[in-house]
Structure 1
Amino acid sequence: MKKNVWNADEMIVYEDENYAIINKPPYLSTLEDRNDQSNVLSLFRAIDSNYQVCHRLDKETSGALLLAKNDESYRHAALQFQERDVEKIYHALVKGRFLNEAIQVDVPLRTSGSGKVVFDKRRGKEATTLIRPKQFFRDYTLVEAKPLTGRTHQIRAHLSYLDFPICGDTMYGGEAIFLSSLKKDFKKKQHEEERPLFSRVGLHSYSIKLTNVNKNIILKICDYPKDMHIIMKKLNKFN
């Protein structure tokens, strides 16, 4: 398997004297991962040791991630996250036809010993997500999710709770996407195992909005990575 070579500068989509917003590629950890020493924080601290990450994205999740360049801007961002003033929008690809309306999911969540996040009405922490359909396909839906709280795996767990697990998210019941599931006339080659078109967690941090230290609003949208562009193209063509 080809090893990824990450370039920090190429990830930056917004930068000022206080913050950098990057479009994080999938398969790159936000912080140190025991299975892979490459991560966002170490890449950017190699440029400037003052960099701090203001929140986290799961390793397979792509998209908008905020980094602070100094302690003051980090504290300013942390306060906004604490007060729930940072607006984050995610796009997720789910199997099936999602509801025709926007809904608010209020389902308390708790992290189990295995690391999986579960619904727990008694011991779980408050978790709220706004979810609406963005684009319908025959067998799939692209949904838009706006978390109002910042729990671990919140969107993944909430969509699984609704019986719409994210494609490729095996931890929460999601399945990989195969061409045979899109093309009705698909013919598999004999004695050859079909490889998935898309197998990672189909979740992308689409945009982030906050205020800078000088009170100016920062709003940045991040394009889909290559693999998500390809699967969307396939869905538009065949599904």
Structure 2
Amino acid sequence: MSRRVISNPLALAVLSCLWERPMYPYEITTTLRERGKEDSIRLNFGSLYAVIKSLEKHGFIEEARFEREGNRPERTVYEITEAGRTETTDWLRELLETPAKEYPAIEAGLSLMAILPPPEVAELLRTRVAGLTADLEHRAALAESPEVAGLPEIFTVEFDYKVALMRAERDFIAAFADRLDRGEVGGQSVWARMHEMLAQGRPVDEVQAVLAPHLPEGVGAGNHE
């Protein structure tokens, strides 16, 4: 289900902060960063103001008061409205309950990898595996740090979920790269042959003729419909 009003996850993060208590914008950003939410929600101070104005426009939050400290500029403290509380709980229920189609960058890369020759793809994937492994090691050390180790699981569940996804991706990519090295990926011989012909400067129509028998019906290289 798509949100009918606001769909930016940062808006939900703002609502969740104000659900606890009234805050001013910079305090919202600081709170989210201190809680490590920028690992799962893209935080941008410039975008935050646009999100706040949108939430205010739709009646989900409102100005509670104005504060001034010393010679600093006056700041606006916002609070959540009843409509905002309803929006927050409805939105959260939807996120937890309903699977949504997402578009990870690696998925797009894998879907188009045949543009590159198999050995290069294998090498690139191994570099990715090394990066994922380093990140996982960093997160493992962070999980053992005093700042995180003592926290109840309810405050680290998104961290644990991220680690599980990264580990699954690393293991899948590593295994796939191994199969590429052994020539065991389905269709790899045709894929390799295509790049051999391209490297030899063979005409495009010859390359297409080699590929055509292996493509789904109606997806021939010469089909421009």
Question: TM-score w.r.t. structure 1 length?
Answer: 0.25
Query: Going by fraction, where is helix more abundant, 1 or 2?
Result: 2
Higher RCO (C-alpha under 8 Å, 6+ residues apart): 1
**What's the TM-score, normalizing by structure 2?**
0.26
